[in-house]
A and B are shown apart, each in its own frame.
Chain A
Amino acid sequence: QKEVEQNSGPLSVPEGAIASLNCTYSDRVSQSFFWYRQYSGKSPELIMSIYSNGDKEDGRFTAQLNKASQYVSLLIRDSQPSDSATYLCAVSRYSSASKIIFGSGTRLSIRP
């Protein structure tokens, strides 16, 4: 069983719409959850972190966590062409002092 699973995509969303990205994880003791954005050939860039059940909003981004279902999601509102990238779900057992386990990423394409 993969530790962090994501749909590889590509997910195509029209500009201005909501993009919804999903992730499941297998390690029940995971405590920290992250969404990174990665442009082709570049390094992962942290866009959201979430540590407790529920929603966390930051600008156009909302992260949702459900530990009972072992499910994390990211919503991007008012999608822009610059949001086109691969989105990596990542999970850590304790604080970020622990290793981060990445999913394979979902490719998101925003069409004008």
Chain B
Amino acid sequence: EPEVTQTPSHQVTQMGQEVILRCVPISNHLYFYWYRQILGQKVEFLVSFYNNEISEKSEIFDDQFSVERPDGSNFTLKIRSTKLEDSAMYFCASSSGTVNTEAFFGQGTRLTVV
């Protein structure tokens, strides 16, 4: 069964460092998303991406964040200068985008900023 895969599963970084989280969406999907979940809190939308551009972003997704689809298979989330409050689980998701279809989530990357 096709699945969304994310790497790494766990990333520890020092405050102020840049991190790149990687995702391989399901191959025939056209819409890609990043969500995050701070420990004990709800899953929050960060950004959606379609046709090589951002289609929607939340207020969380500020100038420190960027997304890219560099090679037609990977979908990345970059955090330029990490803060302690960026510590969370980051989930990538993808969808075929046709009417009434679902979004499927990867297993997540746990980001710990120290």
Chain A residues packing against B (C-beta within 8 Å): 32, 34, 36, 42-46, 49, 51, 88, 90, 95-105
**Apart from A49-B102, A95-B97, A100-B93, what are 7 other A-B pairs with CB-CB below 8 Å?**
A44-B43, A46-B105, A95-B95, A95-B101, A101-B45, A104-B42, A105-B42
Chain A, Cβ-Cβ closest to B43:
A102
Minimum CB distance partner of A104 in chain B: B42
Count CB-based A-B contacts (< 8 Å).
Answer: 64
Q: B114 interface residue, CB < 8 Å from A?
A: no
CB distance from B58 to the nearest CB of A (A): 8
A75: min CB distance to chain B, Å? 19
Distance of A90 Cα from B102 Cα, bound (Å): 11
Give CA–CA (A100, B45) in the complex, Å. 7
B50 near A97 (CB under 8 angstroms)?
yes
Which residue, A90, A97, A98, A101, has most C-beta atoms of chain B within 10 A?
A97
When the two chains form the complex, which single residue of B33, B41, B91, B102 contacts A99, counting CB atoms closer than 8 Å? B33
Shortest Cβ distance from residue A6 to the other chain B in the assembled complex, whole angstroms: 9
Residues of A within 8 A of B31 (CB): 96-97
